[in-house]
């Protein structure tokens, strides 16, 4: 099937892809699947899983085989970008990602594009291998973390409540913080271009901690770098759709979709689907936004919320998804029930 005909691509390009809508779930590969836990064991470390194309392809394919989603997202992590920029990154078993924290005023080394791409070569090989392995109708999504979200991890050395390290840096020494953000925007744009060169048909920029930015900071550290990434990627790949996910930014989703030039946005579960239909769909595709808790609980409450979302957004350009990633506690039977309910 040609890229243009795939359901997900039609929706993101602004068409109504009809009923049922295309569906995939953020973090659809991962610890809620026994086959992932087995693979994770075999891979001997999370980063090794990300950097071994054979394993990363297998992790990506697992939820496609099991559930037949309309799209797959390459298996990797947002933190491979700071890693490729020379920051130390590791995974603390049972806890999560860790990095050597940066101090206020620190700068990234001069961008060595060859070293960056050579570090990330396994990711590009994963993308190319996936285009060979995926069913003809399944779209392939590439992704990267947005500069602000990457900076929050790089400043704190880990996920941290309120993103306090990055916010402190931003106000203490705005020039060096802006330099960090702009350097990350350049690297992320080059990374996404290579993913598309390798076969990604759409890319999504995850700004998971956009919620921590006050309005002026949102303009400078979320909108501006995203706009720059979109322009840089578009200059090379004008026809590849770009999705943004400034999670938790509330009414600012409207500013984001108008000003960054993205083709669509993923919305979190805090947003009203009716509001999104009026304020966002005139400007682009909307993806979302079921509470991931429904993947733990299931049942009629899940079905009611699915119906509410589909009836609000289903007449415009729409992709069904969760409002954030599926959690390790999710029950795969609820994912199956979700798909059955959406697809009938
Ligand atoms: O198939 C898929 O959907 C999974 C691919 C994927 C993606 C898109 C993974 C695998 N990570 C991500 C993106 C990612 N990583 C984001 C942005 C999306 C979001 O907000 O969920 C973020 C913030 C991260 C950082 C990260 N990586 C965390 C959160 C830590 C924190 O406290 O803030 C964690 C736990 C990871 C590890 C990770 N990444 C992916 C998986 C399956 C895991 C669990 C690792 C394991 O197996 O132990």
Q: What is the pLDDT, as a whole number, of residue 1? A: 76
CA–centroid distance, 142 to ligand 1, in Å, is 14
Kindly report the number of other CB atoms within 10 A of residue 213's CB atom. Answer: 24
By most ligand atoms within 8 Å of CB, the mutation choice from 27, 29, 75, 143 for ligand 1 is 27
pLDDT digit string, tens, across residues 318-327: 999 999 999 9
What is the percentage of the chain residues whose pLDDT exceeds 70? 100
Ligand 1 atom closest to Cα of residue 50: 10
**Average pLDDT in the 128-141 region?**
97
Q: Indicate which residues carry an active-site annotation.
A: 27, 31, 40, 77, 153
Mean pLDDT, to the nearest integer, of 179-195? 98
pLDDT class of 108 with cuts at 50, 70, 90: very high
Residue carrying structure tokens 């602004």: 14
Strand-pair category, 89-92 with 96-99: antiparallel
Q: Tokens for 331?
A: 């029950």
pLDDT over 90 at 212, yes or no: yes
* Tens digits of residue pLDDT in 283-304: 999 999 999 999 999 999 999 9
The response to whether residue 206 sits with its C-beta less than 6 Å from ligand 1 reads: yes
Query: What spatial distance separates the first Cα and last Cα of the chain, rounded to whole Å?
Result: 23
| pLDDT in the model for residue 4 | 78
Q: What are phi and psi of 195, to 5 degrees?
A: -65, -40
> Could you tell me the strand order of the sheet in which 264-266 lies?
71-73, 139-145, 202-207, 242-246, 264-266, 285-290, 318-322
Contact 7, 319 (CB under 8 A): no
Residue range 14-67, pLDDT digits in tens: 988 789 999 999 999 999 999 999 999 999 899 999 999 999 999 999 999 999
Sign of the Cα pseudo-torsion (61, 66, 70, 71, in order) = negative
Q: Give the distance (Å) from ligand 1 centre to CA of residue 282.
A: 31
- What digits encode the pLDDT tens for the residues 71-99? 999 999 999 999 999 999 999 988 999 99
pLDDT band at 197; cut points 50, 70, 90 = very high
Q: Which domains are seen in the chain, by residue range?
A: 3-343 (3.20.20.210)
DSSP 209: T
Distance 77 CA to ligand 1 centre (A): 6
Name the residue among 278, 265, 297, 21 with its Cα closest to residue 146: 265
Mean pLDDT, the chain, integer: 97
Strands 285-290 and 318-322: parallel
Protein residue closest via CA to atom 35 of ligand 1: 96
CA distance 299 to 150: 36
**Cross-strand bridge partners of residue 139:** 71
Q: Where are the beta strands (DSSP E) in 22-146?
A: 71-73, 89-92, 96-99, 139-145
Does residue 160 surpass a pLDDT of 90?
A: no
d(CA 210, CA 208): 6
Query: Does the Cβ of 73 fall within 6 Å of ligand 1?
Result: yes
Per residue in 217-271, pLDDT (tens digit) is: 999 999 999 999 999 999 999 999 999 999 999 999 999 999 999 999 999 999 9
Give the Cβ contact number of residue 71 at 10 Å. Answer: 28
């Amino acid at each position: 099937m040609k890229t243009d005909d795939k359901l997900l691509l039609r929706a993101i390009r602004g068409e109504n892809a009809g009923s049922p809508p295309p569906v995939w779930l953020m973090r659809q590969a991962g610890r809620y699947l026994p086959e992932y836990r087995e693979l994770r064991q075999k891979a001997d470390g999370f980063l090794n899983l990300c950097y071994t194309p054979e394993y990363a392809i297998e992790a990506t394919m697992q939820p496609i085989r099991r559930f037949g989603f309309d799209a797959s997202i390459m298996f990797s992590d947002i933190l491979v970008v700071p890693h490729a920029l020379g920051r130390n990154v590791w995974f603390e078993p049972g806890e999560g990602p860790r990095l050597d924290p940066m101090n206020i005023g620190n700068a990234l080394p001069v961008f060595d594009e060859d070293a960056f791409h050579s570090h990330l070569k396994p990711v590009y090989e994963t993308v190319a291998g996936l285009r060979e392995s995926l069913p003809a109708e399944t779209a392939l999504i590439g992704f990267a973390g947005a500069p602000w979200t990457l900076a929050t991890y790089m400043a704190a050395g880990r996920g941290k409540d309120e993103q306090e390290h990055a916010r402190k840096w931003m106000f203490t020494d705005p020039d060096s913080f802006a330099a960090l953000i702009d350097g990350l925007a350049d690297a992320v744009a080059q990374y996404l271009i290579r993913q598309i060169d390798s076969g990604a048909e759409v890319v999504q920029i995850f700004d998971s901690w956009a919620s921590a930015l006050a309005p002026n900071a949102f303009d400078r550290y979320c909108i501006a770098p995203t706009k720059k990434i979109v322009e840089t990627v578009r200059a090379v790949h004008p026809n590849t759709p770009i999705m943004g996910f400034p999670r938790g930014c509330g009414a600012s989703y409207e500013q984001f979709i108008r000003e960054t030039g993205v083709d669509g946005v993923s919305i979190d579960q805090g947003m009203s689907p009716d509001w999104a239909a009026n304020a966002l769909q005139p400007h682009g595709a909307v993806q979302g936004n079921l509470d991931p808790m429904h993947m733990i609980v299931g049942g009629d409450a899940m079905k009611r919320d699915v119906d509410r979302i589909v009836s609000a957004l289903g007449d415009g350009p729409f992709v069904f998804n969760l409002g954030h990633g599926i959690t390790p506690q999710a029950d795969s039977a609820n994912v199956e029930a979700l798909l059955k309910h959406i697809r009938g």
